[in-house]
A and B are shown apart, each in its own frame.
Chain A
Amino acid sequence: METKYGKTVKVAAPPPAGVRGIVVQPMALVARQFFKSLWRPSTILYPMKERLENPEFREEVKVESGAPIGVGEIWDNYRGVHALNIKTCISCNLCAFSCPDTCIEMVNVDAGGGKSKKCPQIDYGKCSFCGFCSDACPEGCLTMTPAYTITTNNRKNMVYSPERMFEVFKVKLPQNPTRIALPANEDVILLDQDLCIGCNACARDCPTKCITMIEIPRAEAKPGEKLPKRIWKEPSVNDSECVRCGTCISVCPRECLYWGARK
C-alpha cells in the first residue's frame, strides 16, 4: 500500500547541560510548579466533591464555549449503575443473554392486576459494566447512569433487584444514550415448514406479540402415507416488530424456527 508519509526523524541527544541547565532551569521549574499548586490543586477533593453526580461539579467543568458535551453532558456516556423502567420492560431476556459475566438473572416482579413478569436483576459483585445489556435492550428500558457509588459492607446489597433499579430510573439521572447506534440486524426468524406442528408455543411466549398463527390448507394424504399429526396453522413473524430475542426459538418443541436472512 502506498502511503503519503514515511519520513523517519532521528531524535538527537540533548546539548550538554551547563550550570544553567543543571541548576537554574530545574529550580525554576520546581518553583513554578510549587507556586501553582498552592492555589490550584490538580486533584478533585473526592468525598467533599462528588465527581459525576454533583451538579455543582458539572457547572465547573462545562466547556467554556458553551456548547454541551455529549447528548447532555460528558458524564452521560459513563457506564455506572443501571436504571430499569419496569413499566416498559417486555421480559425478552436479551440483557441476560448478552451478559458476558452472567450476572443478570430474570426474576418475577409484580406487573399489576395480579399478574407478574420477568425483569432483570443484576449482581454488581459480578458486573463488569461493559454495557452490552443496555446495548441489547430493544425497548431502551435498561440503561446505564453515571451513578457509581455502590460500595457496601454487605455482599447482599450488591444485588440490585428490578425494583431497586426502577428507583434509580425515577431519580432521572442522565442515561447512557448509546443504544441509538445499534446496527440493523440482517437475520430474521425463519420457519422449517415440514417440522412445524402448529403448537402456538412461539406465539404464546413472544414478548412483543409479533408472531401470529395463520391457518394453512390441510395437506392431502398420498396413498400409503399417513398425515402428520398437527394443527393446521403456522407462525408468521412480523419482522419490523420483532426484537430478535430468540424466545420463540428456545421454546419451539420441534426446533423448526431458526435464524437466517430473508430471501
Chain B
Amino acid sequence: MSEMWINMGPQHPMTHGLWNLRIKVDGELIVDADPEIGYLHRGIEKICEYRRYNEVITLMDRTCYVAGIAWEQLYIMAAEGALGITPPARAEYIRVLSQELQRLSSHIIWYAAYVQDIGLMTPFLYGMRDRDLVLDLFQSYTGARMTYEYMRVGGVRNDVPVGFTDRCRKVMDWLDGKLVEYEKVCDNSTIFLDRTIGVGILKAKEAIQDGITGPVLRAANVARDIRRDRPYSAYPEIDFDVAIHDGADCYGRYRVRMEEMKQSVRIVRQVLDWLDRNPGPVLAEKVPRFVGTPSPPPGKEIYVERRGYPKGRGFSSMEEPHGEAMAYIINEGAEHPYRAKLRSPVFVNIAAAKDYLIGYRISDIPAIMGSVDVCLGEADR
C-alpha cells in the first residue's frame, strides 16, 4: 500500500497549542513522524537583550502559559547568579511554595486535557474546578491568576498575606481527597486503560539519548529529578520522593504525574509550616538601582560605564512541570542582559516524537502526544 504524509495541525484538537505534527502513514500505521514548530515564536531570548533585568520577568510569564511562575524563577535564579545577589531564606521558601502550587495547577490542567483527549469528559470539569482553587491561592498572594510577575531579582515582590497559610492548608486538604478521586475515575475506566497501557512506549535508553526529561523520563524508570539531583532554592531542606514507573508508556506518565501531585501537596505542607515559624524579609536588602528601578534613559549609557556594575554569568536549571528547564544569562555590566538563553524541556520532548510514535496507529496519536504534556509557548519561546 502506498505511504502518504498527513498534517496533524497547526489547527487540530490533538496539538494543545499551535504546532504541526506531520506523519507518514501506511494505512493506519505510522511509519514516520516530523514535528514542525515555530508558529508561536516571539523571539523572547532576543527581546531579553533590550529589557532591564526586572522587566524580563513580564516576558517569562508569557513563555509558558500554564507554568508561568516556574519560568520566572528559572530566569530569576540565572539573573541572580549573573548579578551576584543572594535572596533571603524566606523568599526561597515562598518560591518553593510557588513552584509546587504551579506544578499542581499545571498537572491538573494536564490531567483535565489529557483525559478529555482519551474520551472522558467529566474529569475535565473536575480538573478545571480544582485548578481554580489553586489559581485563587495564587491570586491572593501574587495578585494575578496567570501572569504573576511575582518574583524579583533578590527575592519576591511581597510576603504572603496574613491568614494565607490557613487558606492554603484548606485547599491542600481538599486536593488530598480529589487526587484520589482523579485516580479512581481513570483506573476504573477500561477505555482509559485500553488506550494508555502499552501505548507510546519510550524506553529509558532511547529517552536518555533523545535528552528527554521530566515525567516522560521518570515514567521510563529513570529516577532523575533536578529537585533532588541538583537542588536549588530551598529544596535541600525539604523532604519528598521522586516518583518513577517502569511502564515507559502513556499509563506510566499518567501515574508519575499523579504521584507528583501528591508529593507537591506534601512539599506545600512542609513549606507552610516553615513559613509560619520563620517570619523575615522577602527581598534582599540592597540591590543595584538598575535592577530595582530603572536607569537613565537610553543613549546615556555613559553612566553605566562610570558606575562599573559587576559583570558575571548565571546559570540555572530547575524541574519545571514539563521537565528540566535551563537558563543562561551573560551580564556584561550593562543594565540589560547581554545574552539570555532558555532551554525548554517541551522542545526536546516533542522533537523526539518519531521515537515514540512509529509503529502505532493514527488513533493513538492524541493519547501519546497528550501524555507528553505539550506547551508550545515555551517550546517556541
Contact A187 B239 (CB under 8 A): no
Q: Is the CB of B289 within 8 A of A259?
A: yes
A22 to B282 CA separation, bound complex (whole angstroms): 51
Instruction: With both chains docked as a complex, state the minimum distance between the C-beta of B239 and any C-beta of chain A, in angstroms.
Output: 5
Instruction: Tell me whether A9 and B286 are in contact in the complex, defined as CB-CB below 8 angstroms, given that A63-B163, A63-B167, A71-B162 are known contacts.
Output: no
A131–chain B nearest beta-carbon distance, Å: 6
Enumerate chain A residues within 8 angstroms of B136, measured Cβ to Cβ. Answer: 74
* Docked pose: A185 CA to B288 CA in angstroms: 7
Quick one: which of A25, A176, A177 contacts B184, CB cutoff 8 A?
A25
A-B contact count (CB 8 A): 209
Q: Which of A13-21, A112-120, A208-216, A226-234 is the contact stretch?
A: A13-21
In whole Å, how far is B260's beta carbon from the nearest beta carbon of chain A? 10
Q: Does B363 contact A (CB under 8 A)?
A: no
Say yes or no for B341: interface residue by CB 8 A criterion.
Answer: no
Using known A-B contacts A65-B166, A129-B147, A183-B283, determine if residue A7 contacts B158 with beta carbons closer than 8 Å: no
Contact, CB under 8 Å: B163 / A69? yes
Whether a CB of chain A sits under 8 angstroms from the CB of B303 is yes
Other-chain residue from B167, B185, B243 in contact with A8 (beta carbon distance below 8 A): B243
B252-263 CB mask vs A (1 if < 8 Å, else 0) is 100110110000
How many Å lie between the Cα of A94 and that of B292 in the bound state? 11
Q: A10-B244, A22-B188, A246-B295 are in contact. Are A178 and B147 (CB under 8 A)?
A: no
* Bound-complex Cα distance A65 to B132 (A): 22
Do B143 and A131 have beta carbons less than 8 Å apart? yes
CA distance A70 to B162 in the complex (A): 5
CA distance A181 to B283 in the complex (A): 7
A9 with B242, Cβ < 8 A, contacts A4-B236, A78-B144, A181-B157 known: yes
**Binary CB contact string for chain A from 14 to 47 against chain B (1 if under 8 A, 0 otherwise):** 1001000110011001100100000000100000
Which residues of chain A have C-beta atoms less than 8 A from B188's C-beta?
17, 21-22, 25-26
> Considering the chains assembled together, what is the distance between the CA atoms of A162 and B136 in angstroms?
31
Q: List, in ascending order, chain B residues with CB within 8 A of A68's CB.
A: 162-163
Q: B residues 127-176 with Cβ under 8 Å of A?
A: 129, 132, 136, 139-144, 147, 149, 154-155, 157-159, 161-164, 166-167
Question: Which of B51-59, B96-104, B108-116, B342-350 is found at the contact surface with chain A?
Answer: B51-59
Q: Which of A95-127 contact B (CB under 8 A)?
A: 97-98, 100-101
Interface pair A186/B296, CB less than 8 Å apart: no
- Say yes or no: is B205 at the interface (Cβ < 8 Å to chain A): no
Query: Is B8 on the interface with A (CB-CB < 8 A)?
Result: no
Contact B161 A74 (CB under 8 A): yes
Count of B residues near A, CB < 8 Å? 81
B307 an interface residue at 8 Å Cβ cutoff? Answer: yes
Given contacts A69-B163, A181-B159, A181-B282, 14 further A-B contacts (CB under 8 A): A1-B231, A5-B241, A11-B259, A25-B188, A26-B184, A69-B164, A98-B294, A100-B51, A178-B157, A187-B289, A187-B290, A246-B295, A255-B300, A255-B303
Listed from nearest, the 5 A-B pairs whose CB atoms lie closest are A187-B289, A70-B161, A178-B158, A97-B294, A74-B140
By a beta-carbon cutoff of 8 Å, the part of chain B in contact with chain A is 51, 54-55, 57-58, 122, 126, 129, 132, 136, 139-144, 147, 149, 154-155, 157-159, 161-164, 166-167, 181, 183-185, 187-190, 223, 228, 230-231, 235-247, 251-252, 255-256, 258-259, 282-290, 292-297, 300, 302-304, 306-307
Could you show 29 A-B contacts with beta carbons less than 8 Å apart? A4-B237, A5-B240, A6-B228, A11-B252, A14-B183, A14-B187, A17-B190, A29-B181, A30-B122, A33-B126, A68-B162, A68-B163, A69-B167, A70-B162, A70-B163, A70-B164, A74-B136, A77-B141, A77-B143, A77-B158, A79-B143, A79-B144, A97-B294, A101-B58, A183-B285, A185-B286, A185-B287, A255-B302, A258-B307
